[in-house]
Structure 1
Amino acid sequence: MTSFVIIGAGECGARAALTLRERGFAGDVTLVGSETLLPYERPPLSKEGLQQGVEPKWIADAGRYEDLDIAVRTGVTATDIDRQQKTVRFSDGSTLGYDRLLLATGARPRELADVASPLGRIRSLRTHADTLALQPFLQAGRCIAILGGGFIGLELAASARRLGASVILLEGLPRILSRGVPAEIAALIADRHAAEGVDIRCGVKIRSVTETDANVSIDLEHADRVAADVLVVGIGSVPNTELAARAGLAIENGISVDSSLRTSDPDIFAAGDCCSFPSVHFGDRRLRLESWRSAQEQGIRAAANMTGAADIRTSVPWFWSDQYELTLQVAGLADGATTIIRRNLSPDAFVLFHLDGEGRLLAASGIGPGNAVARDIRLAEMLIAAGRRPDPAALANPDIKLKQLLAA
């Protein structure tokens, strides 16, 4: 019987396993994860997942996998792939044969160089276990320091303030959200955090980090020092490519895949945070996306192609972040944009459109309460996918529906 093996039981791997059955694949499906839990959603970890007693949001329950005859192995790690024998070896010494293999190994938090944490006061936020370890620090009378002013750091800051902890956020660059978010929107978010009492310090450089039984001390340049009960490091992530590299697969800012998500071995696919792929929407530029929707979509597409489909669709990059009552959404990539057009949707919601020198829409960034910008960002995403060059005056005019520009 044909056997498909999926390494990585996160969003991407779980969606791939479920999709194989939904497409009628009748062979063996084995989903393997290094965590001891069933696959769960990661976006809530920096939000409601930090609340006391909240269990993970399961992608599917145990009964669902059993009903679909999907074997889920948890608490084991793949250590080696034998491409000639088409087997995978695991940390418990067992091996598993495959006809086709999907690597959905994800990414891990980037660590501070030469900084250890034997006392557990220097942490990251990637897993449910991480949220459990942070919960005792997220309450009134505690101080949490966060290194990194990206989505994870800022979402954690908002959650910590709602739970009563004081927050000091340290960012090495001149502003928060330097990666992919316009300065105008970043400034608005920074002001919102400041209004909640978050102490944001940008342009700082760390000289050393020391933890004791009582606290963690962060020494900054210019003799500044920050003391907190815990330091959470959120300075980006590193794709988990070691397994693929040991197997001799091509690596290029992640496991290198083609437009069908195949690696350099035609029987091995890769998807999600661990892989880089050519984007037809941006001149076949090789991208590696770290987002919930990308992981989900690529898992579904990889499963289809493992069963013989020829799905080479490439989605437009899309990101979102919830902080307090605000939701930020970004579609596309603004690199290379020469013009920014603002579209005011209401007094507290707007979208920025990013156009290149030829007038092609490259990206759209919006912010507002709740779902205020969701529809416009979705339509902008469709305009980007279609390669449209919309009239800037029409983009700026909220009375002209983006749907009209898409139909034009």
Structure 2
Amino acid sequence: MSGDAGIIIVGAGECGARTALSLRENGYRHTITLIGDEVHLPYERPPLSKQVLLDEAGPQAPAVLSDIVLGERAIRHIGGASASAIDTLGKQLILSDGRALSYGKLLLTTGAAPRRLPNAPTGGRIFYLRTIDDALALRPWIRADMHVAVLGGGFIGLEVAASARSRGAKVTVIESQERILKRGVPEPIAETIADLHRRNGVIVKCGVAVRGIEADERRVDISLFDGDLISADVLVVGIGAQPRTELAAQAGIAVDNGIAVNERLETSVTDIYAAGDCCSFPHPLYGGRRLRLEAWRNAQDQGMLAAANLEGAARNYHAVPYFWSDQYDHTLQIAGLVDEGRTVVRRDLGDGAFVLFHLDGEQRLVAASGVGPGNKIAKDIKLSEMLIAKRVVPPIEALAADVNLKSLLPKAA
């Protein structure tokens, strides 16, 4: 470390909080300061589109760090504060209230922000979902006498749709692409999820763009280019997210679809690192392809690696990308990058559950995706993740058959 100036972490979400915890677990003894622009303690975001909308009483997102843990681990948490500048030469972080905090090393875990609708009307009936305050504001509208329109057929939009239907609301999902889950989810799984929503009463409209949106104190009207007019009580917008890179860019740190880091999560400026949703990084399993992942697992994994490297470990990041989504009684899981696969092998698991294995040109397993009720696919996806990490070239007939994937793992030396 550079003296005892300590480590400052900008961003008090999953990644930043996990880094702070890991630093203490690794024996780091200097000052740790965790800065978040929300007044709340660090909390889990995945429940925002599910439990927080569904819980009958006292909805809240599970905390990552409590006041007790912060005190016991001597982690200084500054909530409701934003960083306005980084003095890279003087190694100081400038807060929006004018305070200047010195650092030995700095970690940026600034996350991502919802992509906003251009020229959309303002008002209390149009919602984005990123924070616990967003979820609590939306929650009263998710009820049986409401019509909830959802713009965007990605994970967030579909999870909100499932939660709204579970509470009895009428739901319409609008997706401009020809199908839902166009990004990173294979078509057979997207079709299964679309059918699941339709069976639960959701109207799913794909391949149609929005012509205009009007909102007043009574309703939101969404006019579509196919001539339809959808009149809803509330509109939830889930059209993607943008990495929060402004602070880094202003400091002269390289940006490339996120804050650009190397395999050790180091930015282009000495002693400044980045991790989580805000950063893009080269992945060794995919030929050094630069990725940016908006995923809970990635935030955890990179947070723990950042903690080690902030202390000088110089380890490379190589965790297999992993995504999941719970909708109704079904779970969708993906290990690896589906778009890297050229050959797809299907394994049926019964009860409508199935897994797709994605192989590259050398027949190496590069991804596995699955969907099904309960935990039907969990074991195969977990074992597939291990096979992907080991760069296994599996026999195609074994993937299609009822062969235990564990038997395909290389034997320990």
Q: TM-score range by the shorter chain?
A: over 0.9
Q: How far apart, CA to CA, are the structure 2 residues paired with 1:215 and 1:330?
A: 37
| TM-score relative to the length of structure 2 | 0.97
Aligned to 2:80: 75
For residue 105 of structure 1, the aligned residue among 80, 86, 110 is: 110
Cα pair 2:121 2:214 within 8 Å, conserved: no
What is the aligned counterpart of 1:121 among 101, 121, 125? 125
Choose from 361, 368, 380 the match for 1:357: 361
Q: Does 1:61 align with 2:102?
A: no
Counterparts of 1:8-27 in structure 2, within 5 Å, are 8-27=11-30
2:174 matched residue in structure 1: 170
**1:374-401 CA-partner distances (Å, limit 9, x unpaired):** 1111111111111111010001111x11
CA displacement at 1:310 relative to structure 2: 1.8
CA separation in 2, counterparts of 1:304 and 1:125? 32
- The one-letter amino acid of 1:186's match is A
Contact 2:334 2:381 in 1 (8 A): yes
* Alignment partner, residue 286 of structure 1: 290
SS at match of 1:344: strand
SS at match of 1:250: coil
Question: Could you tell me which of 387, 390, 413 is aligned with 1:386?
Answer: 390
Take 2:172 and 2:152, find their aligned partners in 1: how far apart are those partners?
A: 11
1:156-195 correspondence runs (5 A) = 156-195=160-199
Query: Which residue does 1:7 correspond to in 2?
Result: 10
User: What is the DSSP-based 3-state SS (H/G/I as helix, E as strand, rest coil) of the residue aligned with 1:30?
Assistant: strand
CA contact (8 A) 2:159 2:326 kept: yes
Task: Give the equivalent residue in structure 2 for 1:317.
Answer: 321
Q: How far apart, CA to CA, are the structure 2 residues paired with 1:261 and 1:12? A: 13
CA distance in 2, matches of 1:87, 1:114: 37
Q: Give, in angstroms, the shift of residue 337 of structure 1.
A: 2.1
Q: Report SS of the residue matched to 2:298.
A: helix
Q: Report the counterpart of residue 135 of structure 1 in structure 2.
A: 139
Equivalent in the alignment of 1:224 = 228
CA offsets per residue over residues 76-112 of structure 1, 9 Å max, x none? Answer: 1001000011111111221111010000000000011
CA distance in 2, matches of 1:211, 1:115: 9
Q: Deviations over 1:35-69 (max 9, x none)?
A: 00000000000000113531221012111001111
Larger deviation, residues 10-19 vs 365-374:
365-374
**In 2: Cα distance, 1:252 partner to 1:89 partner:** 24
Q: Confirm or deny that 1:197 pairs with 2:201.
A: yes
Aligned to 2:275: 271
Q: Which one of 36, 40, 44 corresponds to residue 41 of structure 1?
A: 44
Distance of 2:172 and 2:371 partners within structure 1: 24
Please give the secondary structure, in 2, of the residue aligned with 1:407.
coil
Match in the other structure for 2:344: 340
Cα distance between partner residues in 2 of 1:371 and 1:62: 34
Of 31, 34, 41, the match for 2:34? 31
Counterpart residue number, 1:237: 241
* Alpha carbons 2:208, 2:226 under 8 Å: kept: no
Asked if 1 retains the 8 angstrom alpha-carbon contact of 2:121 and 2:213, the reply is no
Partner Cα separation in structure 1 for residue 194 and residue 346 of structure 2: 20
Indicate the SS of the match to 1:340. strand
- Over 4 Å off, 4+ runs: none
SS in 1 for 2:190: helix
Structure 2 counterpart of 1:11, which letter? Answer: E
Shifted more, 52-61 versus 189-198: the winner is 52-61
Q: SS at the partner of 1:375?
A: helix
Residue 259 of structure 1 and its aligned partner are, at CA, apart by: 0.6
Provide the rounded CA distance (Å) in 2 between the counterparts of 1:269 and 1:222: 47
Q: For 1:83 and 1:310, how far apart are their aligned partners in 2? A: 21
Supply the distance in 1 between the matched residues of 2:17 and 2:167 (Cα, whole angstroms).
31
Whichever residue aligns with residue 221 of structure 2, its letter is S
| CA displacement, residues 275-304 of structure 1 (integer Å, 9 cap, x when unaligned) | 000000000000000000000110110011
Output the CA distance in 2 between the equivalents of 1:56 and 1:344: 35
Q: Gapped runs of 5+ residues in structure 1?
A: none
Q: Does 1:212 find its partner at 2:216? A: yes
Post-superposition CA distance 1:212-242 (Å, at most 9, x none): 1100111111321111111111010000000
* Residue aligning to 1:91: 96
Deviations 1:107-166 (A, max 9, x none): 00001112131x221111110001111111100110110000011111110000111111
Quote the residue 1:153 is aligned against.
157
| Superposition deviation, residue 336 in structure 1 | 3.7
**Deviation per residue, 1:239-271 (Å, 9 max, x gap):** 000000000000000000001100001200000
Residue 310 of structure 1 aligns to which amino acid in structure 2? A
Identical-pair percentage: 53
Distance in 2 between the 1:113 and 1:15 partners? 34
Distance (whole Å) between structure 2 residues aligned to residue 44 and residue 222 of structure 1: 34
Q: Which amino acid aligns with 1:60?
A: L
